[in-house]
Amino acid sequence: MSYVQDHLSRRDFLRNTACTAAATGAALSSSALAADVPAGKTPALPYGVLGRTKYPVTLVSFGAILIADSIGTRVVKAGIDAGMNLLHTSMTYMKGKSVPAIGELFKADKRYREKVFLCLKSFTPDKDQELNEMLEALGTDYTDVLLSTMDKPDPARLETIQKAQESLKKRGKIRHTGFVCHGDMNGVCEMVLEKASDFFDVCLLSTAPLGLAGDRRSPKADEQTQRFIKNLKALRSKGVGILSMKSGAKEASRRGAEVFGPHVKAVLAAGCDSVLTSINTLDQVGMIRTLKLQASTTPADEQAAAEFSRSRGNACMMCGQCSKGCPNGVPVADLMRIRMYYREYGWCDHARSEFQALGRNLPALTARCSDCTVCGRACPAGLANSLLVQDIASLFA
Ligand code: SF4
Ligand code: SF4
């Protein structure tokens, strides 16, 4: 029997993750939760509960990575008016224009700030300056959750984040604790579960390791997927609210409700509370309003989600394995993520700013790749290799 035959079909996988989700309480319906929501706070769109925060978060939430200027402000307003009630941004998005564009709305009408669960990303947990600048630009005193970046299982950074967030919470600048990972997803989740399982209220994770992207069937890819499912389940059982990113939602939304709806259902069924989607057009907002996410998943939904996944090819699983053994210290996983932004998503400006933030002489580092095959052998998705790494390293150099 071949390896492929020996393993689950995609449809089986989607079914299994849905069963797992139901068994762990991940599949949530608004009717089951309505009693927990304070009067007058019931979201206008289908919602679940964001872990121990108990916040009734809409199943699709607003990612502001492409928001800038007054047009962006209008789109954010439309999204909140449509009912989306979780908003995520960062000082780095759109070369710093995302935060002020949202601030324009919040300052013009403070009710918009109160209508959302605000999630801010933090790169420098040991310094208040980054958060203070964002809060000032947004015209608010606090964020609902701070998502501090942890891209590898580094206990020292974890400790720094815990101390900083405890202090921020005492001072009323954050309501809930959180982390976001763009690198070694399984390694970071496992470190959090081992050392800080009761600390974080919310996490923002790439759901690419779930295997929703592409049709990978290598033993290494399956191992990453199974570990990730186990980690998601463990985090959920600890009450951590889980936000999904980089599932392919933006591309699915471009293809319309008949693809986006089934894709979102598949991600939620795998154990996430809300699917963060980068939104930058009024059409997207209009499409999201029409989704019937509470309806049961049908065979047609499963087929649409599976076809969408297959159509994307083998996307990066964001597992961080390619960076681990590089003899030249090349941040291969970061480069592969930047490539995804640039080539797959078409986010050229964001890719450029992430590239510049690496602050390394990458062409010089990758010039030493020669015939090295370390990252290629480590990559479970069969993506990384020296030629590709050299190509990305020269993109914005
Ligand atoms: S091919 Fe280059 S980037 Fe990849 S591991 Fe080898 S030296 Fe590092
Ligand atoms: S390129 Fe491969 S090894 Fe590197 S993060 Fe992506 S899937 Fe993992």
Three-state DSSP string of 8-30:
CCHHHHHHHHHHHHHHHCCCCCH
Choice between 218 and 167, residue whose per-residue pLDDT is larger: 167
Q: What is the pLDDT of residues 171-224, one digit of tens each?
A: 999 999 999 998 899 999 999 999 999 999 999 999 887 765 455 567 888 888
Strands (E) in the chain, as ranges, are 60-63, 86-89, 117-122, 143-149, 174-181, 202-206, 241-245, 274-278
DSSP bridge partners of 60: 275
Q: Please tell me whether residues 244 and 336 are part of one structural domain.
A: no
Q: What is the pLDDT of residues 295-306, one digit of tens each?
A: 889 999 999 998
Q: Please tell me whether residues 246 and 378 are part of one structural domain.
A: no
Question: What SS3 state is found at 113?
Answer: helix
Structure tokens at 138: 């947004």
Task: Give the pLDDT confidence score for residue 138 in this predicted structure.
Answer: 98
C-beta of 327 in contact with ligand 1 (< 6 A): yes
Residue recorded with tokens 């989740």? 189
Q: Please tell me whether residues 250 and 346 are part of one structural domain.
A: no
Q: Please tell me whether residues 88 and 183 are part of one structural domain.
A: yes
**Poorest-pLDDT segment among 6-10, 25-29, 199-203, 217-221:** 6-10
Q: Please tell me whether residues 81 and 107 are part of one structural domain.
A: yes
Determine the atom of ligand 2 nearest the C-alpha atom of 384.
1
Within-domain flag for 316: no
Going by alpha carbons, the residue nearest to atom 2 of ligand 2 is 379
C-beta of 188 in contact with ligand 2 (< 6 A): no
Whether 4 has a pLDDT exceeding 90, the answer reads: no
Q: Please tell me whether residues 204 and 280 are part of one structural domain.
A: yes
Amino acid, single-letter form, for residue 14 = L
Structure tokens at 142: 């606090």
Task: Give the pLDDT confidence score for residue 362 in this predicted structure.
Answer: 85
Going by alpha carbons, the residue nearest to atom 8 of ligand 2 is 319
Q: For residue 198, report the distance from its CA to the centre of ligand 1, in Å.
A: 37
Q: What is the mean pLDDT of the chain?
A: 86
Q: Please tell me whether residues 95 and 160 are part of one structural domain.
A: yes
- Average pLDDT value for residue range 266-281: 94
C-beta of 372 in contact with ligand 1 (< 6 A): yes
- Average pLDDT value for residue range 67-79: 96
C-beta of 335 in contact with ligand 1 (< 6 A): no
Task: Give the pLDDT confidence score for residue 364 in this predicted structure.
Answer: 87
Do residues 309 and 17 lie in contact, with contact meaning Cβ atoms separated by under 8 Å? no
Q: Please tell me whether residues 168 and 30 are part of one structural domain.
A: yes
Within-domain flag for 203: yes
The domain of 53 spans 3-311
Q: Please tell me whether residues 39 and 63 are part of one structural domain.
A: yes
Task: Give the pLDDT confidence score for residue 395 in this predicted structure.
Answer: 82
**Poorest-pLDDT segment among 69-83, 250-264, 383-397:** 383-397
Pick the last residue of a domain from 286, 311, 336.
311
Q: Please tell me whether residues 282 and 341 are part of one structural domain.
A: no
Pick the last residue of a domain from 311, 332, 349.
311
Q: Please tell me whether residues 150 and 275 are part of one structural domain.
A: yes
Give the chain's domain count: 2
CATH number at residue 273: 3.20.20.100
Within-domain flag for 106: yes
Task: Give the pLDDT confidence score for residue 16 in this predicted structure.
Answer: 35
Whether 35 has a pLDDT exceeding 50, the answer reads: no
Q: Please tell me whether residues 373 and 239 are part of one structural domain.
A: no
Going by alpha carbons, the residue nearest to atom 6 of ligand 1 is 372
User: What pLDDT band is residue 52 in, cutting at 50, 70 and 90?
Assistant: very high
Task: Give the pLDDT confidence score for residue 28 in this predicted structure.
Answer: 36
Distance in angstroms (rounded) separating the CA atoms of residues 61 and 103: 18
- CA quadruple 90, 94, 95, 100: dihedral positive or negative? negative
Determine the atom of ligand 1 nearest the C-alpha atom of 376.
4
Pick the last residue of a domain from 287, 311, 335.
311
Element (H, E) at 317: none
**Poorest-pLDDT segment among 12-26, 239-253, 261-275, 314-328:** 12-26
C-beta of 316 in contact with ligand 2 (< 6 A): yes
Task: Give the pLDDT confidence score for residue 7 in this predicted structure.
Answer: 30
Choice between 183 and 90, residue whose per-residue pLDDT is larger: 90
Distance in angstroms (rounded) separating the CA atoms of residues 230 and 342: 31
Q: What is the DSSP letter of 351?
A: H
Task: Give the pLDDT confidence score for residue 349 in this predicted structure.
Answer: 84
Q: What is the pTM of this model?
A: 0.85
